Structure 1
Amino acid sequence: MQLANLNFFWILLLPALLLALSLVLESIKRNRLRAFIDSNLLNNVLRGPSPSSYAPTLRASLSLLIGLLLALSVLRPQWGFSWVKGVKSGVDIIVAVDVSQSMLSNDLKPNRLELARREIVDLMSVLRGDRIGLVAFAGTAFIETPLTLDYNTFRMFIDEIDPSLIPIQGTNIEAAISKSTEAFGDVESATGKAKRDRALILITDGEDFEGNFSQAAKTAKENDIKIYIIGVGTTTGGPIPTDRGLKRDKSGNVIITKLNEDALKNLAKETGAVYVSSISSSSDTNLIYNLGIKKDLKDRKLEEENSKKWNEYFQLPLLLALILLILQRTLELGVLSNLRGRSKSESNATNRSPNNKDPLKIQALGIAALLLIPFLAEQARAETQSALKKAYDAFGAGEFETAASHFDRAIEERADSLSYLGKGSSHYRMGDFKEASTAFLEAAKLTNDAGQQANALYNAGNALTQLGEYQEAIKVYEEALKVKGGGEG
């Protein structure tokens, strides 16, 4: 079971607060009248002369229960779901990430591995119907995440890639390519679906090459796998930080790890791959995706169960609330009082009273307003989702200005972290790094998810770097690292 409108959870407090307020007001009224009216007559004055007035405790209990049931209906309880099949088209992409210790070097801020993570997250922001998988490699390789359309699950595994995953150090390109080819093949045979064009993105610093990558690349080519290589690091290099300080060789000298760009270029040439040298931004994978993968490979349709449709049960608490409301109004408006012999003169006197107010109308208006909340919320959510869909579609088509406009509309309807992330990404692609940094920083403020907040801060740091505001960028990167590390300095 789940509650669809969990963001309205506070509404459960309203019935109790309103009941408490009414009791306080009644107590104040009673204390004021006690000074002028005999205590034996006080209850009759407050309740009115009609014998139909039922026990205050029962009245309060019914009101509270009705309010809670109405609040529960607003929260839209759901349980049980069915899978909704959707037809998606795209290619299969495996990202193979070097997790050797040299990837911890901070010659690129915050470090090579963090930049690699940002490259992957940036790639995910433009995927549309493409399956994606993750392979981690160092001295050997293994499949971290098989090919999937579940981007949210895949996103969680990105944060897990770390040098501690593989104790065997090195940069075994052969193992990375072989394991990635295996990952493509496993899904192919398991699903029995039509073959889709496939791309392998290698992210590595190229240091300490191992293995016969020529044979592995040949195997990949035979399986129609297009290889793209992203070199991470600088040719000047940097030290490798460890828990005990900087990593040193046997002679006690600080080890300087450098991007082995020549070897990566030779690998690209030998395997027919595309090579891109990474910079301190996360736009490389976006460039490879839009100008490489989408240009060189063909989308294929794939039918897959990719979304859940939950069964709605808000009608049940709503029906119970209406039944209790009818019972309450029956007790208050005289059905029982007629059975108990209420006099006609009392009724006429009550109706002629200028101070008489119809409580049924007042309560009905209140209930109507309460019941409108879920429908207004659903309408607002639908409008926001429509704007977001248009924004993502425009973004995927490379129409970044249009995407930014739709993200702005989504923010007007409901300002959340994802909308600001989309806005920032759109402005980043347009080269408007000032607006991008502002949007990314706002996205970081609007989420409690540490991973998402760190990603937003990294993006903001990248945008500030592009603006040349290096000191501000360093502060943002440091804040991102604190968030990532759970607030540690």
Structure 2
Amino acid sequence: MNPAALLQDFAALHFLRPWWLCALVLLPVLAWWWRRRQRESSAWHAFVDPHLLPQLLESRGDRRSRVAPWLAALGYLLAVLALAGPSWRRSEQPLWQSQTPLVVALDLSSASLAADLPPSRLAQARAKLATLLRERNGGQIGLVAFAGDAFTVAPLTDDAANVALYLDALQPDVMPRDGQRASEAIEWSARLLKRAGARSGDIVVLTDHADDAAINAASEAVAGGYPVSALGLGTEAGTVYRRVDGSIANARLDSASLRKLAANGNGGYAALSGDDSDLHALGVLEPRTSDEVGGTGSGFTWRDEGFWLLPPLMLLALFAFRRRTGGTLVLVLLCAGFPLHSAHAQGVWRRPDQTEYARIQRGNEAYRKGDFKAAAQQYDDADTATAHYNRGNALAKAGQYQQAIDAYNEALRRQPGMADAIANKRAVEAAMKRKQSQSSQGNQQQKSQGDQDGQSQPQSGQPSQSRNPQPNDQQQQSSKQDVQQQKNQQQQAQDTQAKPQDAKAQQQADQAQRERMQRALEQARKQDGKQPTQEAARARETPEQRERRLANEAWLKRVPDDPGGLLRAKFRLEYERRVSQGRAEE
């Protein structure tokens, strides 16, 4: 090893937890206590003069008694140094970066319908928000709508597509009260960030002007760590628009007030443009990195080397045993030199529930691929109600009905009253009965066919058909028609005989399937370990059940999806609650 490198490492030696070194002060105290304890352990010290003790006492254990305190002191020293965390090397380690969240406050007053930004300010604002949600490079984002009051459209989330779902529903009629109180929007946005636990975050207000209350609110928000920027809606010339009460008003862009708002909020200002230059100017497409984390993606951290002191400390601990210390030491050395096989971390470090969960996941994957035998084997390794239930589904798909019923019974034994297991067990029992019924029908058909063949064989006293080597065409055709007519009559008789049994089995299967679907709809279970349930249910559907299911799905698709109505009802309830609490004006 390079001596220069050793000297450099020694020069960099320091302790990550140096306060543990204060424990070394107790070492002299412990030594004094040890010495006193040794003196008091012998009763002769109280009755015999010290100069006579060597002649009266045996000195067989003196050597060990002299070494033991030093070994104990050495072990104490190593333990304290290990706890102090000696370090002399650094290693590169990726650092977690926290991107600042963004809350956008959109003006949904009646002035947003002004047409100075054709086709309207609101249409341009929604298009700009769609671009922001699509082009923003990570970071949480939330959406707030304001008019006479402010409300949360979408809380802070990493899924920008979830916020985009509400854009088309943003209309002035969803707001319970008209107005342009940007101050309420800023205060509500800051509260939203604070509730999410964000120490820093950006607020962008989309409106056409800012009053004194909004400017003061921006100053308070930036004091809490939330800078406020403004994105101007409209033009300097402005245009007229109709308010909710039917009156006519003029709306125009007041850039000066918005610039003042951005200045007091330590943010930026940009007027709404047709390209992305306004978003780039505000810097909202690239989220800022939180100040408490730093701007680098990786760094160096000092390595705790205290674990190197643990092996000698463990060896010293062996001498704490009064007897057979040497034999124990030899046993430890033999175990250290014995070639051990490498153990899989999966079986060593995982808890039993984690191992069973991993097996169920592997079984689900095999089930989706259609390898039902492998899926059943994976489920069999996990001894839980869910695993046995899924094993029953896999065995049923493989056609092993009796084994599937046994698996369902195991699931019910571990979880009595498991609705899905009960329903699937009934369906498999009905399917097994149908299979047995079809098998018995096939045997009866074969037996009937054998009887028919036996009747057509030549008997004594009757002319054999084979004795006519060259029958004419009319005779052959007549013979074929008679045989075919006889077969059709026998088949109809067999169908008539088997129809009651088949219908009864089919009714049982339909009843079991209906009960299972009803329970599934009531419970709405979507656990990850039960993913094969829906696929197995669809595979056992009859044509009538499949047609009924498709009809229900088509009916559900015709149910109107009105996000605007949801927002309108949500905002109305929130507004009434605020009025009742005295936090809003009627």
TM interval, short-chain normalised: 0.3 to 0.5
**Which one has a larger percent strand, Structure 1 or Structure 2?**
1
Does 1 or 2 have the higher relative contact order (CA < 8 Å, sep 6+)? 1
TM-score normalised by structure 2 residue count? 0.34
TM-score normalised by structure 1 residue count? 0.40
Question: Over alpha carbons, which structure has the higher Rg?
Answer: 2
